[in-house]
Structure 1
Amino acid sequence: MYVILVYDIICDEKGRKILPKVFKICKKYLVHIQNSVFEGNLSKANSLALQKELDVYIRKDKDSVIMFHTREERWMNKDFLGKTDDKTSNFL
């Protein structure tokens, strides 16, 4: 499956320590394309492994990771980790 992953880590004192760890985990599985954006093809097993590794560091009340999964470009599913703020829900 093709995945686009975006993350937002609050850069408070703890966040500055979390940010490089999240970046390194994402880079292990996907291609870094822009600041906090990654993309690439993942198997279902690798997608779950990536989510499990990130879940260790993401603070549920402050940080967020969104993974867009698609087999075809016109269909997409989103998985939210941490704080959910769906700003794309207004898209037609």
Structure 2
Amino acid sequence: MFVILVYDVNQSRVAKVLKLCRRYLYWVQNSVLEGELTEAGYKKLKYELSKIINKDEDSVIFYTFRSTKYSNREIMGLEKGGQENIL
């Protein structure tokens, strides 16, 4: 499945959340990651994130798609991030 993850977390947890998410997805912009995940990988990412975030302060949104076949991605301006998972 194709996943777009958007997060808004307390500054004290931003580095941990980004580091974890980059193990699974590609960073594309501040607080935005995307990529292909298996169902197991998606569940594991959600579980690991639940151990880091504070559910009373933080927000993580997952947009999931069966594939990218019917989607279009257009960038205006500077392209941030990249297609590598290396930190």
Q: What TM-score do you get using the length of structure 2 for normalisation?
A: 0.74
Q: Which one has the bigger helix percentage?
A: 1
Mapping for residues 23-62 of structure 1, pairs under 5 Å: 23-62=18-57
Write the mapping of 1:6-85 to structure 2, written as runs, cut at 5 A: 6-11=6-11, 16=12, 18-72=13-67
Offset from partner CA, 1:39-90 (integer Å, 9 cap, x none): 0000000000000110001101100101100115569xxxxxxxxxxxxxxx
Match of 1:4 in 2: 4
> Partner amino acid for 1:59?
N
Q: Using the TM superposition, name which of 26-35 and 64-73 deviates more.
A: 64-73
Distance 2:50 2:67 in 1: 27
Q: Which one has the bigger strand percentage? A: 1
* Runs of at least 5 residues in structure 2 that lack an aligned partner in the other structure: 72-87
- In the TM superposition, what is the alpha-carbon distance from 1:19 to its structure 2 partner? 1.2
**With structure 1 as the length reference, what TM-score do the two structures score?**
0.71
> Which secondary structure state, in structure 2, belongs to the residue aligned with residue 29 of structure 1?
coil
Q: CA RMSD in A?
A: 1.6
Taking only the aligned residue pairs, the percentage that are identical comes to 46
